[in-house]
Amino acid sequence: MRKLGVFNNVSLDGYFVDANGDMRWAYRDKPDAEWNAFVAGNASGEGELLFGRITYELMASYWPTPLAKQNMPAVAEGMNRMPKVVFSRTLDKVTWINTKLVKGDLATEVRKLKAESGPDIVILGSGGIVSQLAQEGLIDEFQIVVNPIILGKGRTMFDRVTQRPTLKLTKSRAFANGNVVLNYEPAA
């Protein structure tokens, strides 16, 4: 069975997006070669990416562009190469290479994806999807990047979670730019 993970950024005060729904604050890092290598290493891995419509549209509008290939060539190559699944009730088609559109029930379809053979699956962005799948107990790992910024207002990735799953810290790593990566798994 494949594992389902989350890789997302949060502000120091716990917000996933700011009060306007914007995530750009998470990508204004101070120069840090170790952080850049970490991000490039994540993007060069083998895996399948899972998005909701909003995150898909943001990613698909940037990663296939010449600007992305110029600014972050290793990340752009990985993002374009990896298979992607986008869940949407409103999209009729997807145009980004290696992307499949799924319109069925999220939890049911993710259970099917996890049961298939293949690489592990990672959710990027997509706070609504993270919230729904966390509520269903379908997420096997949370890799959260805490950014050294205070937003004051915004939305968390876990807005709709009513159960309180217990998580255990499995790894942490701090970077010179102030980012701290925390890896959690559901406690047994």
Could you tell me the residue ranges of all domains in the chain?
4-186
Q: How far is it, in rounded angstroms, from Cα 62 to Cα 83? A: 16
Q: How far is it, in rounded angstroms, from Cα 186 to Cα 136? A: 12
What is the pTM assigned to this prediction?
A: 0.90
Q: What's the whole-number average pLDDT of the chain? A: 91
Mean pLDDT of 65-89: 92
Percent of the chain with pLDDT over 70: 99
Question: Which pLDDT does position 171 carry in this prediction?
Answer: 97
Q: Is the pLDDT of residue 108 over 90?
A: yes
Q: Is the pLDDT of residue 64 over 90?
A: yes
Q: What is the DSSP letter of 29?
A: P
Span 4-186 CATH architecture: 3-Layer(aba) Sandwich (3.40)
Contacts of 90 (CB under 8 A, 6+ apart): 53
Mean pLDDT of 87-98: 95
Q: Is the pLDDT of residue 33 over 80?
A: yes
Q: What is the DSSP letter of 143?
A: E
Mean pLDDT of 51-65: 93
Please, what is the Cα angle at 37 between 36 and 40, to 5 degrees? 85
Q: Are 16 and 157 in contact (CB under 8 A)?
A: yes
Please, what is the Cα angle at 49 between 147 and 45, to 5 degrees? 80
Question: Which pLDDT does position 29 carry in this prediction?
Answer: 64
Contacts of 41 (CB under 8 A, 6+ apart): none
- pLDDT tens digit string along 139-188? 999 999 999 999 999 999 888 888 888 899 999 999 999 999 999 999 87
Mean pLDDT of 25-47: 81
Mean pLDDT of 81-93: 95
Q: Which amino acid is at 5?
A: G
